[in-house]
Amino acid sequence: MRRRNKRKTFEQIEVIDAGAKGKSIAKAPDGRVIFLSNAVPGDVVDITTTKKRKAYFEGVATNFHKFSKKRTKPVCEHFGVCGGCKWQHMGYEHQLFFKQKEVENNLKRIGNLELPEIAPIIGSKKQYFYRNKMEFSFSDSRWLTEDEITSEETIQDRNALGFHIPGMWDKILDIKKCHLQEEPSNAIRLEIKDFAIKNGIAFFNPRKQEGILRTLMLRISSTGEIMVLIQFFEDDTEKRELLLDHIQKTFPAITSLLYTINQKANDTIYDQKIIRYSGREFIYEEMEGLRFKINAKSFYQTNSDQAHELYKITRDFAKLTGEEIVYDLYTGTGTIAQFVSKKAKKVIGVESVPEAIEDAKSNAANNSISNTDFFVGDMKNIFNSTFIEQNGIPDVVITDPPRDGMHKDVVAQLLQILPQRIVYVSCNSATQARDLALMKDDYDVIKVQPVDMFPQTHHVENIVLLEKRV
């Protein structure tokens, strides 16, 4: 018989640090770490534990004796319930401090690397309304507030269009105003919700797998172009066209109005047919005179301004003279590959998503870039000796993998060909450190540059330059 965790209470505990996944850190009197979800380093609090493990507790601050000087007032009314901006209660300069600290700790503790002096993190000029892409979910049984739950009144309106409650796949928080994407993002979302309710267009129920409206994706590019994609569950032509016609009429500035019918168990669209209802099938992003075509399935850095900073640093780290063969692994729509192409002899981009590679080829042609080639395939399979024989041994490799980092076979292949320089762009410095540890016998870490792409969150990008040992 399993013993239930008994809650503990600790009084007047100082919060001493910020850790992974946006948690803050305190220590219990017995020395065990306590991870908190609602405190800031410098707070002095009473803590009630929610989980007990051998080496640590998880808990919440239930009473504040002293508020930290690092605190700031959250701008969003949904803060604390919505899990999207976990650090909104912490001043931005302190957010940057802890992000830099996380990068340094991961590289040292996980990678056990010899490091140069790490450059100061590059902060974002925009701390709000910086995202070019947002995804929202519909629900016919929205998350209720504590006041609504304890109220004796019958709750009539249960529809929601917003974000998942952290850790709950079927609970959606209705969002009145989101501070992450510029207008007309909020206006479009609220109009779609109101029109659907007034016209009896059913919101999705994930448990029962029924309803018409499933998800909404909004992209607003740095050029001001707008993409709206609605994911429908039930195929109701009359109500679908009623809603799409209303959106088109109410927001004529929309560049690309798309939809898909998705009746599978999950919301992912990568295996779904995207249908153009009006406008173009894509929107454009621009950077240093280059135009990038972005479709519904395209990956593009979600902070356009900071993406430019990220790519400039990557290009600088690559130290290109015009004579190098460059491989851009996990190239996405080929943005980095094209961004560095002017200073390279040839750039080879590799990506697993076929639509992304189609966009990369199209973008290169539209940008009159002739020294890039793009290939589609699972990285661990396509990046092999035959591929390298056909395309040339790279002098420089740029790699920008997903959060899980590079597959061990990809790392092994890099160690077989030993390019002169590797520029490793990462959205997860822990897996980056793991991969770098596998290469430290053959490469020195020359430069490290953290970049903040996601203000108000704990996420941080990091760029590392490796040079082959002589």
Query: ω before 41 within 30° of 0 (cis)?
Result: no
Among 339, 309, 301, which Cα is nearest to 122's? 309
Rounded to 5 degrees, what are φ and ψ at 327? -105, 130
Looking only at Cα atoms, what is the longest distance across the chain?
Answer: 75
Supply the angle between the helices 237-250 and 185-198 in degrees, to the nearest 10. 140
Q: Collapsing DSSP states into helix, strand and coil, what is residue 138?
A: strand
**Integer Cα distance of 401 and 424 in angstroms:** 8
* 141 within 8 A of 211, measured Cβ to Cβ: no
What type of residue is 387? F
* 425 within 8 A of 451, measured Cβ to Cβ: no
Long-range CB contacts (within 8 A, 24+) of 405-413: 405/431, 405/432, 405/434, 405/435, 406/329, 406/379, 406/435, 407/379, 407/380, 408/438, 409/380, 409/383, 410/329, 410/379, 410/380, 410/383, 411/435, 411/438, 411/439, 413/383, 413/384, 413/385, 413/388
Number of Cβ within 10 Å of residue 2's Cβ equals: 4
**Token output for 193:** 């919700």
**Integer Cα distance of 100 and 308 in angstroms:** 20
> Is 178 a catalytic site residue?
no
Of the candidates 76, 85, 178, 427, the residue annotated as catalytic is 427
Residues labelled catalytic: 427
